[in-house]
Amino acid sequence: MHFPTLFLLLALHAEAAPTGAVTGTLPLPARPRGRIAVEKYTGTISGKVSPPPPPRAGVWIEGTGTAAPAAPPKIALNQTGYQFAQSLLVVPLRTTVEFPNDDPDFHNVFSLSRTKRFDAGRYKKSERPAPTATFDKPGLVRLQCEIHDHMKAVILVVDSRYFTTTDAAGKFTLTGLPPGTYTLYAQFDEKAKWSTSVTISGGKTVSADFTQTATVP
């Protein structure tokens, strides 16, 4: 057999190698309750205010071959119904996030977080392109709207290409993982962060129990 043919067969075999998955559940806080005091936003809310999105946590793995891609695609985090569309958005390192305004009034997106400080200024739905920010440091970024202070969200920046978000009940399944042993991380906020070791086998799903895992400082 010629060497080029052998290399091609090995490459095809590597590409066809089955991936694995990990699943689990995180203890998340309950959805915030209470009515938004719309009357304090006189002149800045002319549409219907949606309920805040439910709390979620981010989940990702780190280890050999898991680093974030050099040029991840742009992602949008919309402002609609006078809320951020998601309570938490997980993005790989170096991602540029766009903040479209879907409401009939001005919005503003800003963050005072150490991971990323920025201020997009006030802008309307009709203003295109929407403001963006590039997240080039791992960590949590807390977002707010300077006009409507009930609007809050978190961007979790991870140095990984394998990540997901829990559902509202704290359940997650992270798929497409290459076989190997990795550190599995999960994070809700600055204080609630978990980690555990997982070994992934091709074609199999393993379970991770974070309820008994120590919080990472």
CATH of the domain at 168: 2.60.40.420
Q: Identify the segments of the chain with pLDDT beneath 70.
A: 1-16, 31-34, 211-217
Please, what sign has the CA dihedral across residues 159, 196, 193, 59? positive
Is 12 within a domain?
Answer: no
Spatial CB neighbours of 11, under 8 Å, sequence gap ≥ 6: none
Boundaries of domain holding 149: 18-209
Instruction: Find all residues with CB under 8 Å of 209, minimum gap 6, and list them.
Output: 24, 196
Task: Measure the CA–CA gap between 26 and 84, rounded to whole angstroms.
Answer: 22
pLDDT of residue 191: 87
Beta strands per DSSP E along 34-170: 58-62, 75-76, 79-80, 83-84, 88-92, 95-98, 107-112, 117-123, 132-135, 139-144, 152-158, 163-165
Residue 5 included in any domain: no
The answer to the question of residue 216 being in a domain is no
pLDDT in tens, 33-88: 667 888 888 889 998 999 999 999 999 999 999 999 999 999 999 999 999 999 99
pLDDT of residue 178: 96
Answer whether 108's CB lies under 8 Å from 119's CB. Answer: yes
Answer yes or no: is 202 within a domain.
Answer: yes
pLDDT at 201: 93
Could you tell me if residue 7 is inside a domain?
no
The predicted pLDDT at position 214 comes to 40
Q: What is the pTM (predicted TM-score) of this model?
A: 0.88
Q: How many domains does the chain have?
A: 1
Residue 40 lies in a domain: yes
Domain membership flag for residue 47: yes
Residue with tokens 């394998």: 162
pLDDT confidence of residue 38: 83
Strands 83-84 and 79-80: antiparallel
Spatial contact of 85 and 109, defined as CB atoms under 8 Å apart: no
Give me 159's structure tokens. Answer: 């140095």
The verdict on residue 10 lying in a domain is no
Return the half-sphere exposure (C-beta side, CA atoms, 13 A cut-off) of residue 151: 28
Q: Is the peptide bond before 54 cis (omega within 30 degrees of 0)?
A: no
- β-sheet bridge partners, residue 144: 110, 152
